[in-house]
Structure 1
Amino acid sequence: MSGLAVPLWDPGNGQGMRQLAELGLALLLSSLIGWERAAQQKSAGLRTHTLVGIASALMMEVSQHGFSNVLGLDHASFDPSRVASQIVSGIGFIGGGIIFVRRDAVRGLTTAATVWLTCAVGMACGGGLPVLAVAVTVLHFLVVRGYPLLLRKVRTGPTPAAVELHMTCRTGNAVVPRLMQTCTQLGFRILQIRVQQKPGQTDPVRVLLELDGNADTSGLATELLQNDGVIDLALRPSAEPE
């Protein structure tokens, strides 16, 4: 490599400032997407999406500008698209870790797709396509915020309810099985049940039931409170399947 000039990155030239601007745009857009996911209390939130976005942008910058010192060598080939394809393949590991299946309910698909989209936004920023990056970010908010509202307007029939029941119950007399039976009789499907006891204390216990179904949740709460074993009850919306 004698006689080959290796260009150094200079933040004072136009190319260096453009690269910083592209990384800054990736930071801004991926943070906006991550903020929306964090506001929805999803498993991948602000930090995950931001890191995916800026990392993708950086890898695109490296793909385009990081190998300029070998372009003058004999038998050296240069294909920036190879790095881009590897980014797309690698992001699948993160997306696959977000998706999980419990019984017949699949969760995390939308969040995994959003991580994939954030990767694409970062690649567009690093690839010098800021207009496309901004446009896709706007489309992201349109899809994840606007489509659920549209579906609620066009959907016919009862809307499935996903709820969590947080109860304090007395032990004995098969209280928990009776509560589960009441839920199923009213048309709800039990997705998960957890019973917690305080250390050194056997009564009362905390019971969490995660349900879904088309029945009236207020009627369910009224029916469960009529059980002598239930001390208190809180009904909260559960995270919607994605």
Structure 2
Amino acid sequence: MGLTFNPEVWQINHLELTVRLTLAIVLGGLIGLERELGGHHAGFRTHILVCLGSAAIMLLSMYGFSEYAAEPNVRMDPARLAAQVISGIGFLGAGTIVRTGLTISGLTTAASLWVVAAIGLSVGAGFYYGASISTFLVVVSLFFLNKVEKNFSHAKKDRQITFVLHRKTSSLQHIVTSLNKSGIKIYKLTIENEEAAEGSAQPLIIKMDVKLKKTKAFDEALLKLAGIEGVIRLKTAGDVL
């Protein structure tokens, strides 16, 4: 018994089309709002556009070629354009990743754009529940788990040390060695003014985020660091977030 062709499968009315595109704006906007409030590079409008564009491409892939569906040699593949969105969104995510000195930021925003593209495709395909629950979980991950992560950082006794150093010394190497001997782990190092002209008398400003095991060991390490040749001054801040 042969399969019968149903042309209505490849058609969508204007109301349903409007609902899907509008929902894409709402869901993408919810995730973009969290990024916007956090002051990130890709915020409210960017996430809306990515989600809306993904939904539009999914709708195009599913319903845009319905007039050719009945042709004998035509094979409809709704997932073809969707696959290109998932791989192509990488260029936009890469634009949000910023390198400043030795610090890299924007990875979470890049990931959120990738997820928003997937949510847009889901809405475009009419997978409403999957899109909605995905949006909820992303917002929870970005907003609420961010607070949990900060509290977790408190428990790890994170600290930030800012050094002002003479440029023509090897004090940075001595600082790293001293911290390692004290059992203090450096997990982020930022050179704020490394672009200064070579031979400039301007001091080098370096920020280090470190993890402690014992507070007393940190106090002892600071005394040693202050005595290293080339260290003009240093200051610390507790509970780096």
Give the structure-1-normalised TM-score: 0.65
In the alignment, which residue of structure 2 is the partner of 1:229? 231
Partner of 1:5: none
1:189 to 186, 191, 211: 186
Q: Secondary structure at the match of 2:17?
A: helix
User: In the alignment, is the contact (CA less than 8 A) between 1:168 and 1:204 conserved in 2?
Assistant: no
- Residue 15 of structure 1: how far off its partner (Å): 2.4
Looking at structure 2, the residues matched to 16 and 167 of structure 1 have their Cα atoms a distance apart, in angstroms, of: 62
* Counterpart position of 2:54: 56
Q: Give 1:137's aligned residue.
A: 135
Query: Aligned pair in 2 of structure 1 residues 196, 142: CA closer, same or farther (>3 Å)?
Result: closer
Give the 3 Å change call, closer, same or farther, for CA 234–211 of structure 1 in structure 2.
Answer: closer
Taking every aligned residue pair, what percent have the same amino acid on both sides? Answer: 24
Match of 2:114 in 1: 116
TM-score (norm 2): 0.65
Q: Would the aligned equivalents of 1:161 and 1:214 in 2 still touch at CA under 8 Å?
A: yes
CA-to-partner distance for each residue in 1:67-93, whole Å, 9 max, x for gaps?
Answer: 022224332222223333333344456
Distance 2:195 2:62 in 1: 58
Which amino acid counterpart does residue 161 of structure 1 have in structure 2? D
Instruction: Give matches, 1:203-242, under 5 Å.
Output: 203-215=201-213, 216=215, 219=219, 223=223, 224=225, 229-231=231-233, 233=235, 235=237
On the 8 A contact 2:163/2:231 being kept in 1, the answer is no
Instruction: Note closer, same or farther for the CA distance 1:237–1:108 as it changes in structure 2 (3 Å cut).
Output: farther
Indicate the larger mover: 175-184 or 58-67.
175-184
Q: 1:6 matched to which residue of 2? A: none
1:179 maps onto 2:175 in alignment: yes
* Separation (CA, whole Å) in 1 of partners of 2:26 and 2:56: 14
| CA offset digits 1:184-226 (Å, max 9, x no partner) | 3331236545363755983341322334323449738954556
Structure 1 CA distance, aligned partners of 2:29 and 2:232? 44
In structure 2, give the amino acid aligned to 1:229. Answer: V
CA drift of 1:62 comes to 0.4
Say which SS state the counterpart of residue 196 (structure 1) adopts: coil
In structure 2, runs of 5+ residues without a counterpart are: 1-11
| Paired residue type of 1:230 | I
- For 2:83, the equivalent position in structure 1 comes to 85
CA contact (8 A) 2:50 2:116 kept: yes
Which one-letter code corresponds to 2:206 in the other structure?
L
Distance 1:86 1:199, change over 3 A: closer
Secondary structure of the 1:233 match is strand
TM-superposed deviation, 1:23: 1.7
